Amino acid sequence: MRNGVYVQDSSLCHCHRLRCIKGNLYGISQDIEHFWIRGIAMMTSRERFLAALRRQHVDRPSVANPTSIVTTDLQDKLGIHFPYAHQDATQMAALALAGHMELGYDVVSPIFAGGTHEAEALGVPVRWGDRGHMPACERSIWTTDDEIKIPDDFIDHPAIAVPLEAIRLLKHEIGTEVGIIGKVYGPWSMAYHCFGLSHFLKMTIKNPGMVSDILEKLKDVAVRFGRAQVEAGADALCYGAHITGDLIRPEAYPQFLEEIDQGMEAAIGAPLIFHCCGRTLDRIGYFNTNAQTAFHFESQNDPAEMKALAEMVLIGNINNPEIIRSGSCDDVRHAVFTALDADVNIIAPECAVPLDAPMANVRAVVESVLEYSASGRERAV
């Protein structure tokens, strides 16, 4: 392929193909780091990300996306496109790698989709989308908890095997220098895919006992897929828990999910980054008790207010629709500076970046953090 960097020679092994792609990437991360000269030994991206997750000293704030930062222009630049990058391990790894090498992020996050890998392996029909569309579930498959069946060979299903292989490739190629974030959907989010959003939410009122049974059965999906990602080389995992403000009351968390979520990080064996969209200031007090390391939060929540209430490490909260997708690099800079002033621990887009956002704005998140650090501006704490 001439207009991109994807190497299509199928006689090469996965590792070799990924190395060819890596060699062709521009290497922006090195370039922009030169901007940051202080005469002290620089941390590697992975060291910086892991130190930030542990609240240890960092040479500058980490920028690490728990969800997708892929855009259509990034896909075009690489010549690697959706849906193939969801279905081929080398393409998935290469597109994720561009998040570090082209955009300068401290991590790579190869699972771009939202729970559709697990859903397909459970039997949900999935539309895998295209260059401009993310994957989506076509319809639900179950109506009661007795119908839930997690196949014994769930982990070998191609929809699961591909991201695991992509993580292994990335671990082998850049795993000592760059953080790797995997992703699972917790049982609440997976229930939306398998039972349908409105059916499941209605059940929380009409049949709360069945909701608890469903969550108890579906938690195994996250544990099995999560453990396999950690074995493959993931340093941390995004844990989707869409128990979201515009869908359900805050008290649903302690009623249904808190106890299950409390065991998740230990069961999976790596730091979890709890992800819940929307306004969450009314429920962060509950999330604090779930024993997970970090919270990926949205810009609908004032970062200083969230910092005052959250006990978890905070990741986010740069707005997608108005700033990264429709704003200028200056708007990105303003949002990043506001989040850093509020001492948000790790800077990232608030959720998956819209595919039609300009790549320059996704990169501007990193450039703004470097500028903030170089200016010597003091953080709140």
Asked if 215 interacts with Zn ion (CB under 5 A), we say no
Using the contact rule CB under 5 A, the part of the chain among 197-205, 253-261, 269-277, 287-295 near Zn ion is: 269-277
Contact (CB, 8 A) for 275 and 311: no
- Which helix (H) or strand (E) is 330 found in, with range? helix 329-341
Least distance to Zn ion, CB of residue 351, Å: 3
d(CA 381, CA 364): 24
Asked if 241 interacts with Zn ion (CB under 5 A), we say no
Least distance to Zn ion, CB of residue 275, Å: 6
Least distance to Zn ion, CB of residue 4, Å: 29
Least distance to Zn ion, CB of residue 192, Å: 12
Nearer to Zn ion by C-beta: 257 or 277?
277
Using the contact rule CB under 5 A, the part of the chain among 56-64, 169-177, 255-263, 346-354 near Zn ion is: 346-354
Burial class (CB in 10 A: 0-12, 13-18, 19+), 209: exposed
Using the contact rule CB under 5 A, the part of the chain among 26-34, 117-125, 258-266, 344-352 near Zn ion is: 344-352
Distance of CA 81 to the CA centre of its chain: 19
Using the contact rule CB under 5 A, the part of the chain among 216-224, 271-279, 312-320, 367-375 near Zn ion is: 271-279
Contact (CB, 8 A) for 117 and 183: no
Least distance to Zn ion, CB of residue 350, Å: 7
- Residue 165 structure tokens: 């292989």
Alpha helices in 2-88 (DSSP H): 14-24, 28-33, 45-53, 72-78, 84-87
Least distance to Zn ion, CB of residue 299, Å: 11
Nearer to Zn ion by C-beta: 143 or 244?
244
Contact (CB, 8 A) for 317 and 339: yes
Beta strands 136-137 and 126-127 are antiparallel
Q: How many positions of this chain bind Zn ion (CB under 5 A)?
A: 2
Least distance to Zn ion, CB of residue 255, Å: 22
Provide CB contacts within 8 A for 110, sequence distance 6+.
Answer: 92, 93, 95, 96, 163, 166, 167, 170, 180, 182
Asked if 277 interacts with Zn ion (CB under 5 A), we say yes
Task: Provide the mask over 301-340, with x wherever binding to Zn ion is found by CB under 5 A and - wherever it is not.
Answer: ----------------------------------------
Of 103, 351, 355, 366, the one binding Zn ion (CB under 5 A) is 351
Provide CB contacts within 8 A for 100, sequence distance 6+.
Answer: 29, 45, 106, 107, 108, 174, 178
Task: Enumerate binding residues for Zn ion (CB under 5 A).
Answer: 277, 351
